[in-house]
Amino acid sequence: PSAALNGGARSEDVTTDVKQEISNKIGQQVQTLLLQAKKESEQKVTAELKLLHHAMQEMDSRLDGLVKQLDDMQVQPNQEALEQAAVVQALAKVEQQWGKELGKLKGELHQTIFAHNHNADLMKYQKETLDKIRQEIDSRNNSNPDKIRAAKAQVAKIETTSKVVGPRIATCEGEVEQSIFACAFMADGQHLAQSRYAEEISPDQPEVKLTWRPRDDFETAEGFIIHSSKFLASQWLRWLQDGKLSEVAEKFDPDVRKVLLSESAAKEACQQVRRFCERLDDRVPVELSQPLEDFCGCIGSREYVRANKAYMDIVMGSRKWQGDVPYLVEGNRNGPSVVQNVAERLNKTNANPLDQAGIRDHAVVLRRLLKVAQAVLPNEDPSKNCG
């Protein structure tokens, strides 16, 4: 009998050693995968952003040259006037390149989000595995408490590593989104500058002085959206006149500050909003009115992060990214690229409500109004402000 007891004790010791070894290997493998995925995603995003930044600088230089040519035409009226068709054609080429680069920028943002989602799933799987191991250890009455304590210490160490890696991933994602938000904001400014010469704008249109009204004052969402857009555009001019924008402009980089303090940009925004509202009167689809209503309501309540999310829903429309795309396969390093390709194939059959309503060229002004409103009326809670 004593021999049998000794044999059983040795068996339990072997089982505990095996469990501990499995736990160590799982922890090492998960940690290696997390660090490798994080490093690869950061390197890829950095390289892509550098290329996009160079392309946008080149595009900005071309646009400056075009604007200079148009200004020279106004200064020297005796010279032969440039045909309107040539101007429109040149602007169309610039706008086409702008749309291409901005679309690529948005695609890289979502591809980065896919990579971080994959990292989050790995961390979730690790946590579930560790919980199971801990429960199994606690459920057994082992005669060797030292080994149990050692196993629990190893599990706690792995959990600590996960908690350290998690916030770093979230921080990386936030920095990428802020960089892309700033790039998109400057691109929107270029687009509005193009509209100045592509369409006839009345510079003497009087400012409409409005007072903010809540959603409950309107019977329809379209009425609230039109009122909110006109109010925000008129406030931009008013804040320029009373100096409120000048007081906060120093917080921004020179490119953004130049746009915020430009009276011509504010007047162009008013014209863009007017045409935008004319299209909304009778052409807004049902699936577009709700995010537009959310966007305006969030700005009114100074929920700028939610307003930015609503704007992304507006411009992305029915494009499919996460929910309708087969998810990443564990251990597949090319997972984000695979998901991106599948999403692009799906999007070929999905029309954007902005295109259906004919207001895509005017919707970009919404992001600028969001930036201006946040500059003058920021939320006291920094977490509710966009980067």
List the pLDDT tens digit at each of the 387 positions of the chain.
Answer: 555 545 555 666 668 888 888 888 888 888 888 898 888 888 888 888 888 888 888 888 888 888 888 887 765 555 555 677 888 888 888 888 888 888 888 888 877 887 777 777 778 877 888 888 777 777 765 556 666 677 777 767 776 766 665 565 555 555 555 555 555 555 455 444 444 444 433 444 434 457 888 888 888 888 888 888 889 888 888 888 888 888 887 777 777 778 888 888 888 888 888 887 777 655 566 667 788 889 899 998 999 989 888 888 777 654 444 344 443 333 444 444 444 554 455 444 444 545 554 565 566 778 888 888 888 889 898 888 876
Same domain flag for 214 and 312: yes
Amino acid at 234: S
Q: Are residues 284 and 378 in the same domain?
A: yes
Q: Answer yes or no: are the C-beta atoms of 383 and 305 closer than 8 Å.
A: yes
- Work out how many domains the chain is built from and give that number: 2
**225 falls within a domain:** yes
The residue length of the chain stands at 387
Closest CA to 299 of 243, 236, 358, 218: 236
CA distance 232 to 47: 37
On whether residue 325 sits in a domain, the answer given is no
Our CA angle for 305, 335, 170, nearest 5°, is: 30
Residues 376/243, Cβ–Cβ less than 8 Å? no
* Pair (55, 113) in one structural domain: yes
Q: What is the extent of the structural domain holding 271?
A: 201-317+352-387
- Out of 141, 165, 198, a domain closes at 198
- Cβ partners under 8 Å of residue 378, min gap 6: 302, 304, 385
Q: Per the domain annotation, does 322 fall within a domain?
A: no
Q: Tell whether 125 is covered by a domain.
A: yes
Residues 19 and 119 in one domain: yes
Token pair 């494009």 is found at 319
Query: Are 377 and 270 within one domain?
Result: yes
Distances (CA, A) of 36 to 113, 163, 193, 336, 360: 16, 16, 43, 14, 39
The last residue of one of the domains, among 198, 232, 259, is: 198
* Residues 224 and 356 reside in one and the same domain: yes
Q: Are residues 32 and 160 in the same domain?
A: yes
193 shares its domain with 312 = no
Residue 328 lies in a domain: no
**Do residue 148 and residue 219 come from a single domain?**
no
Which residue shows structure tokens 């400014």?
A: 189
